[in-house]
A and B are shown apart, each in its own frame.
Chain A
Amino acid sequence: MSVALVLTLLAIALLVLGASLCTFLGRQDRAALAVGTGTSVAASLAGIAGAAWALVQRTEETLVLPWRMPVGAVSIGLDPLSAFFLLCIFLVSGLSAIYGEGYLRGFAGRRRVAAAPAFSGLLAASMAGVALARDGVLFLLAWEAMSLSSFFLVTFEGDREETRRAGIVYLVASHVGVVPLLVLFVLLAVPAGSFGFADIAGAGIARAGLATAAFVLALLGFGLKAGFWPLHAWLPEAHPAAPSSVSAVMSGVMIKMGIYGLLRTLTFLPDPPAWWGVAMICVGIVSGVGGVLHALAQHDLKRLLAWHSVENVGIIAMGIGVGIVGRANGHHTVAFLGFSGALLHVLNHGLFKGLLFQGAGSVLHATGTKDIDSLGGLMHRMPVTGATFLAGSAAIAGLPPLNGFVSELLIYAGAFTGAVELASPDGLWTLSVVPALALIGGLAAACFVKAFGVVFLGEPRTPAAGRAHEASASMQGAMVAGATLCAVIGVAPLLAMRLVEGPGAFVAGGGGLPGGVGTLLAAVTRVSAALVAGLAVLAALRRVLLRRRDVRRSATWGCGYEAPTARMQYTAASFADPVLKPGEFLFDRHRHADLPEGYFPRAARVESHRGDLAADRVIRPAVNGLLTLFRWAGFLQAGGVPRYLVWVLLTVVVLLVWQMGASW
């Protein structure tokens, strides 16, 4: 057993230990929080060390555990793909644990706080289990543990109606998602003769029909967890309902386990046809553009961030799509760039989305609201939260010199190389990623200018926003650490490439780092360094220029109007309107207006709400149809024994008649 695996298992053990200690500590909120945070941080350090070790050493090992289960041996293992996702899991959950220490303390005395660190530990442990599992049964068990522990986290504030609702939606969605996965593993296990991943991969699923069925099932089951459009409907409900430290983990890494599952399934299927890649690209474009447009339409900060998860998962799907198309054409560079871009975006999104959810949590903590339009001017009172949120915003918009740019650049490069090197229809498909990414980038920038600008800049729109206070030290520490990591990856992408290189090549089907990638990333470093240096020079110049000059503070220029109030500031809804208007047909739009009428108009009001077309027009009717069906079928279950006996009798008679008919 390698050191890396030992460290990882140690981390999992620590997490489970911490979780059980938390449950024993019960009502002692502070103590439970301290124990939970301590074990989580220790586990994360061990896990990060193990995963990084495995990535650098290119560890590939499988361990068959000496337990017997009804369906065969249980095995765990490490390879570059697992190690990379383990790194993401431990990194983000470690930062969130530190953040949670401060954030959850606010709930002390009001709620059973101990539940949060306990289930957070279990969530991290089960995610690590998913990444380590080397057979279908253990994988599904860990998967289920992951879904359940996150369900309890979503319903942490279960005394609120909307939270309970979100919890139910989440629970149902998770379990619907498991159905295709069950079928998938059974389907794969039949030709392989076992549930072990090594056997499945070794069986070399050659039959096109079987492989396609497996891919489609994986896309459905894992796509539901990842939040691909239109399977995302649960995501904007569940993520905002959880405490912010948990939302960070759920959006940051938990949904990425869907990506992990998809990539793992791809390693079982040796020769993907190009159309799988095209399908992934289409899914990615729809999720990406749809996600960011809906994010723009949100008024709730955490919902907005949840929708951005749909967008970023879309970007990841585009990268995977480019990778599959490259692999199908046997072009290593395209495959590597696509897959490594997608993987790096998994890490990047974990970092900046964790950071942003933490920032949103600090805002909620400080003001009691997450309604964007009742905030404003928080930068003055929360400088650290504001600055880190700004860093996260720029990173998620894919701007240099931060990390989001690097992964998007890799996907761009893969798409372009595909367009140049591959035969016409495939090349055109990979090229279609370019305008989609550009549009998503522009819209994401608009959305985060809106979110950051309306929440942190300007004047407070409500008294609550004016009374805000800065987050506690541990919360600040976690956010600063997250922002620093974003900047490090952005400025030194070659370092990040060392982490992604192994898993990227692993999924791309062997081969190493293609030539040119190193030069490209070195150039990114130069540009980033030049940006920072140029900014420093300009800041110094400005300081020199303004020294001993007349520099005054005054009111904002109101174009001649002398009595402005904070309510006159542009709101988030009005900011987003020009962007959304041309795309109006993509929403389920509700608008209600009492417009001023007559010469002496009374108070006027306009209410608008842009709903989710997929959820309102597809998912909801489907669920309603199912419910009607179930209600109709309810008469079968009358509750009395005589009725059940009638069913038994009827079944026997029908079977007898059928058998007779068959033998006749």
Chain B
Amino acid sequence: MSLDADLLLLLVIGIDLFIGSTGRLVARIRACALQGLVLAALPLAIQGTGVLTGGQRIAHTGMAVLATLLLKAVAIPALLVYAMRKSGVHRETQPETSLHLSLLMCGILVGLSFWIGAVMLPSAGAGSSPLGVPAGLATLLVGLYLTVTGRTEITQVIGYLVLENGVFVIGQRVLGEFPLVVELGVLLDVLVAVMLMAVLVVFANRHPEDEAQDAPAAAIGGRR
């Protein structure tokens, strides 16, 4: 079982790097959705070390998987795509070269999180994958980086989502099982944030000043 978790966590890191290296918003959102899918599969791959047993455990895991799947892999990405279409912004509006820098930075952040994982937070239970903490930290840091460097609302929200995914992974790895209520609460928070953003983006786009601008300028100038 441990191998599957390893692979899933590697996939999580890979998706972080991909998100860091692409400027296309659709690709980023799709990658986010894929990451959500992987996270939903994660509880299935690890053996629980918590107090729950038997049927309770299965129900709990099932609920968590289902909720994660619905929100992280379906609802939030769909909302983001909707907001993106409405706002007419399809690319991160940074120059091409800084994507190299962004990828390198993400690589450095991944390295940093491996270091932190090795030095500061020794791996949780004996049975769990040694990649858990580094993968979670990497996702968290990359998310933070994306949020900080994002030039548009949508990229910032994508960064925020990635950050939350990182919290999710760390929580699962460190605590063995995330308390369902907490996880659901966080998920709902994110959902609300994304919805707010979508409303803002769509509303701002209807603003007469913006409509006066021609399309290329809007695409180049972004939303800020």
Contacts and interface: CB of A to CB of B under 8 A. Distances in A.
Instruction: Answer whether A and B touch in the complex at a CB cut-off of 8 Å.
Output: yes
Interface of A: 424-425, 581-585
A361 to B, nearest CB: 37
B104 to A, nearest CB: 9
Contacts of A584: 97
Contacts of A583: 100
A585 B98 contact: yes
A431 to B, nearest CB: 12
B63 interface: no
B97 A582 contact: yes
A150 B170 CA distance: 59
Contacts of A585: 97-98, 101
A581 B118 contact: no
Contacts of A582: 97, 100
A584 B104 CA distance: 13
Interface of B: 97-98, 100-101, 118-119
Contacts of B118: 424-425
11 contacts: A424-B118, A425-B118, A425-B119, A581-B97, A582-B97, A582-B100, A583-B100, A584-B97, A585-B97, A585-B98, A585-B101
Contacts of A424: 118
Nearest to A586: B101
A583 B101 CA distance: 8
Contacts of B98: 585
Nearest to A585: B101
B106 to A, nearest CB: 15
Contacts of A425: 118-119
A583 B97 CA distance: 8
Q: Which 4 A-B pairs have the closest CB atoms?
A: A582-B100, A584-B97, A585-B101, A581-B97
B86 to A, nearest CB: 33
Contacts of B119: 425
Nearest to B103: A582
Contacts of B100: 582-583
A382 B98 CA distance: 43
A424 B117 CA distance: 13
A593 to B, nearest CB: 16
A585 B97 CA distance: 8
A338 to B, nearest CB: 23
A582 B118 CA distance: 31
A585 B99 CA distance: 11
Nearest to A582: B100
A424 B118 CA distance: 10
Nearest to B99: A582
Nearest to B119: A425
B103 to A, nearest CB: 9
A584 B119 CA distance: 33
Given A424-B118, A583-B100, A584-B97, 8 more contacts: A425-B118, A425-B119, A581-B97, A582-B97, A582-B100, A585-B97, A585-B98, A585-B101
A584 B98 CA distance: 9
A443 to B, nearest CB: 15
Nearest to A584: B97
A434 B161 CA distance: 36
Contacts of B97: 581-582, 584-585
Nearest to B114: A428
B217 to A, nearest CB: 20
Nearest to B118: A424
A289 to B, nearest CB: 12
Nearest to B100: A582
Nearest to A432: B111
A244 B98 CA distance: 39
B111 to A, nearest CB: 10
A590 to B, nearest CB: 16
A33 B222 CA distance: 69
A584 B97 CA distance: 7
A32 to B, nearest CB: 54
Nearest to A424: B118
A582 B101 CA distance: 8
A584 B94 CA distance: 14
A65 B97 CA distance: 62
A583 B98 CA distance: 9
Nearest to B97: A584
A394 to B, nearest CB: 29
A424 B114 CA distance: 12
A581 B97 CA distance: 7
B16 to A, nearest CB: 20
A68 to B, nearest CB: 55
A19 B118 CA distance: 60
B17 to A, nearest CB: 16
A497 to B, nearest CB: 35
B120 to A, nearest CB: 13
A194 to B, nearest CB: 43
Contacts of B101: 585
B95 to A, nearest CB: 9
A425 B116 CA distance: 12
A585 B102 CA distance: 11
A425 B111 CA distance: 12
Nearest to B115: A425
Nearest to B95: A584
A504 B118 CA distance: 34
Nearest to B101: A585
B108 to A, nearest CB: 12
A424 B119 CA distance: 10
A168 B119 CA distance: 48
A538 B99 CA distance: 45
A581 B98 CA distance: 10
A486 to B, nearest CB: 35
A646 to B, nearest CB: 56
B191 to A, nearest CB: 37
